[in-house]
Amino acid sequence: MLPEQEERNIEKERRENEKKEMERRDKERREKERREKERREKERREKERRERDRRERGIGERKIKNKKKMKMMKASEEEILVQFGAMTNQLQICNWLVLHPSVLHLANKMLDASTKQPSTNLPLTTSTSSPSDKVKSISYFGCYILTN
């Protein structure tokens, strides 16, 4: 072959090799971009799923709290004794209890007994309040009364 022809063939082969190399790099770059896009999409879906789960748990917890609160409110409405039926608020009830310290003392004893574990309950005995008792309270009504 002629040297010019040989030189053209070498140049042509070099260009073909460069073209193949560029195509290979482009293919690798596209594959890398595709994998990165899939990874980001997977992360986005996972984040959305976690957020949805968190919201659902929050809603469930709020429903449970609201049910407990409503149950407590209903129970507290039902727990007002007949003697206190005419009294419309806790202050009136507390004032009545101040006038009747023996009832307050007995109510506290009953409350203490009802909040203890059944195995620790002692036999109930009658008890009277003594003048030495400085503070009397009944936690349900949230009043703490200082007495003489």
One domain, residues 70 and 1:
yes
Return d(Cα 35, Cα 40) in angstroms, integer.
9
Residues sharing a CB contact under 8 Å with residue 76, sequence separation 6 or more, in sequence order:
140
Instruction: Look up the domain containing 101 and give its range.
Output: 82-146
Q: Which of 79, 101, 129 is the last residue of a domain?
A: 79
What confidence tier does 55 reach under pLDDT thresholds 50, 70, 90? confident
Please work out, in degrees rounded to the nearest 5, the angle formed at the alpha carbon of residue 132 by the alpha carbons of 130 and 133: 75
Strand 135-138 and strand 143-146: pairing? antiparallel
The answer to whether 87 and 93 are in contact (CB under 8 A) is yes
One domain, residues 11 and 71:
yes
One domain, residues 90 and 71:
no
Please give the model's pTM, rounded to 2 decimal places: 0.35
One domain, residues 4 and 73:
yes
Predicted confidence (pLDDT) per residue in 86-95, tens digit = 666 777 777 7
Q: Which of 45, 60, 79 is the last residue of a domain?
A: 79
One domain, residues 57 and 14:
yes
